[in-house]
Amino acid sequence: MAVQGDRRTAILRCSADLFARQGVASTTVRQIADEVGVLSGSLYHHFPSKDAIVNEVVTAYLDLLLSRYREVMAVDRTPRERLEQLIAASLRVAESEPSATVVYQNEMSYIRELPQYEAVKAAAAEVQQTWLSVIEDGRADGSFRDDIDPRVFYRFVRDAVWLSVRWYRPEGPYTVERLAADCASIFLDGYAAFDPE
Amino acid sequence: MAVQGDRRTAILRCSADLFARQGVASTTVRQIADEVGVLSGSLYHHFPSKDAIVNEVVTAYLDLLLSRYREVMAVDRTPRERLEQLIAASLRVAESEPSATVVYQNEMSYIRELPQYEAVKAAAAEVQQTWLSVIEDGRADGSFRDDIDPRVFYRFVRDAVWLSVRWYRPEGPYTVERLAADCASIFLDGYAAFDPE
DNA sequence: GTCTATACTATGATAGAC
DNA sequence: GTCTATCATAGTATAGAC
């Protein structure tokens, strides 16, 4: 049964890579089959449709992300520390699942049309709620500014964090932990030089 | 000749809207023709191919953006002011050309395969060089931090700015100028509360 | 400048042999 | 569980009448 699962997993992995590189709509079932090393008809033994593959790539990704967010929220920390941890957790997930991250970021219009979209929507809502609750907590205790809408701040952070999959390469000396620290520092302390007074 | 240009323009506008909503690959020439109000064969009187439409949407967009950036850089200002102006100019372009902005942000993998990609690449390089020169100037004169790579800062700002087309709606009371001010304030001063000492 | 009609290709998916 | 063969559909693009 390890073997049985492997082929399924290979299909998901190859699909995610192709979806991320070319877009879901431009990726054909024949390309996926080629990459896996089977013929296109064989895919339909494992999945009922191409859309089912897309759906599983996205839901597996959101499940992983949410489990990491829940770990962060399970520990008692300040809002600032939690925000730093959410950024770091997100970047680590993006590092370990770059293709699925790209698919989720780029293919929302496709995902929205999937029959199983409601489950995705619920997970996405929990993701957003996690960030917003941390930001609201920081506003409430005075550690974050109260002159800018938390939702605006959330969206800027979210987009900057997730779009890093388009350019960040974990191979170099610039580690994901350093990237996370820089990101948190810019968003919390700003890029202007600190006033030396 | 006003009429002649109008149909061409209508094709470009409708195409950009559909490309932004559904993605380029998922948009068919028949859909475009429907939206314009002609039959699909008629499109080929104005454009040699669907890809030619995509190309013109993107290049017209980059031309507009670069002309705004050049206006900003033509005036003598501090790096901080210039950064604020680049953010504001970008958000104004995103407001006036939301569909083209979305297409350019979402469809890079498609655009890269176009035969005329080199021109797009050159324009994109000038965009990036504009931002980077302003950031480097700010580092040089001590108004920006020197402990974070300018390219990292640039990418965070760029992605946060451009992805705002996915969520910002100019109809409400939250104006694009206010959005630009909030964005610049977060990225330069940070979201942490100012220390009251 | 637009329409009609159609050529050609590629697509997602299926049925049945192995 | 995979392959062969194929269906039905939909795609871009073209030729020529109007």
Q: Is the pLDDT of residue B51 over 90?
A: yes
Closest nucleotide to the alpha carbon of B44, via C1': D13
Taking an 8 Å cut-off on Cβ atoms, the answer to whether A193 and B26 are in contact is no
> Which residue places its CA closest to the C1' of nucleotide C11?
A28
Q: pLDDT at residue B1 above 60?
A: no
Q: What is the mean pLDDT of residues A157-170?
A: 98
Taking each helix axis from N to C terminus, what angle separates A50-74 and A117-140, rounded to the nearest 10 degrees? 20
pLDDT band at residue A2, thresholds of 50, 70 and 90? very low
Residue A138, pLDDT above cutoff 80: yes
A48-81 pLDDT tens trace = 999 999 999 999 999 999 999 999 999 999 999 9
- For residue A160, give the 3-state DSSP assignment: helix
Q: What angle do CA B189, A138, A191 make, to 5 degrees?
A: 15
Q: What is the mean pLDDT of residues A143-166?
A: 98
pLDDT at A13: 98
Q: Would you give the DSSP letter of residue B144? A: B
Q: Answer yes or no: are the C-beta atoms of B51 and B72 closer than 8 Å.
A: no
Question: What is the distance between the terminal CA atoms of chain A, rounded to a whole angstrom?
Answer: 66
Of B144, B152, B160, the CB nearest to A156: B160
Alpha-helical regions (H) of chain A: 2-22, 29-36, 40-46, 50-74, 79-96, 98-106, 108-111, 117-140, 150-163, 176-189
- Section B83-88 average pLDDT: 98
Look at residue A1 in the predicted model and tell me its pLDDT. 45
> Distance between CA atoms of B80 and B107, rounded to whole angstroms?
31
pLDDT digits (tens, 9 = 90+) for B102-119: 999 999 999 999 999 999
- Residues of chain A contacting residue B146, judged by C-beta atoms under 8 Å apart: 193
- pLDDT reading at B5 higher than 90: no
* Residue A197: per-residue pLDDT: 57
Confidence bin at B2 (pLDDT 50/70/90) = very low
What Å distances lie between residue B37 and A29, A118, B7, B32, B190, CA to CA?
Answer: 33, 34, 10, 8, 49
pLDDT at B194 (0 to 100):
81
Which residue is closest to D11 in terms of CA–C1' distance?
A: B28
Residues in chain A closer than 8 A to B81 (CB atoms): none
- Domains of chain A are 50-189 (1.10.357.10)
Tell me the sheet residues that pair with A144: B192
CB atoms within 10 A of CB B161: 25
Q: Quick check: A196 pLDDT over 90?
A: no
The mean pLDDT of B71-81, rounded to a whole number, is 98
CB-based contacts of B42: which residues, under 8 Å, 6+ apart? B33
Question: Mean pLDDT for chain B?
Answer: 96
When pLDDT is cut at 50, 70 and 90, the band that residue B197 belongs to is: low
Tokens of A61: 């990704």
Instruction: Reply yes or no on whether the pLDDT at B4 is more than 90.
Output: no
CB B100 within 8 A of CB B61: yes
CA-CA distances (angstroms) from residue A8 to A34, A52, B13?
14, 12, 42
Percentage of chain B modeled with pLDDT above 90: 95
Q: In whole angstroms, what is the distance from residue B155 CA to residue B132 CA?
A: 10
Summarised one tens digit per residue, pLDDT across range B86-100 is: 999 999 999 999 999
- Whole-angstrom distance, CA of residue A102 vs CA of residue A57: 11
Average pLDDT rounded to a whole number, residues B62-82:
98
B44 touches strand D (CB under 7 A): yes
Residue A77 CA to residue A85 CA, distance in Å, equals 10
Q: So what's the pLDDT on residue A165?
A: 98
Q: Of A158-172, B4-18, B122-136, which gets the smallest average pLDDT? A: B4-18
Instruction: Determine the distance from the C-alpha atom of residue B89 to the mean position of all C-alpha atoms in its chain, rounded to a whole number.
Output: 10
Please judge whether A186 and B159 are an interchain contact, meaning their C-beta atoms are less than 8 angstroms apart: no
pLDDT at B54 over 70: yes
Q: What CA–CA distance (Å, rounded) separates A158 from A129?
A: 12
A51 C-beta less than 7 Å away from strand C: yes
The span from the CA of B45 to the CA of A94, in Å, is: 45
8 A C-beta contact, residue B191 and residue A148? yes
Distances (CA, A) of B48 to A123, B11, B30, B45, B53: 44, 13, 15, 7, 8
Chain A partners within 8 Å of B163 (Cβ)? 155, 159, 163
Please state the rounded mean pLDDT for residues A167-188: 98
User: Helix A50-74 and helix A29-36: axis angle, to 10°?
Assistant: 70
Nearest residue to nucleotide C2 when comparing alpha carbons to its C1'? B42
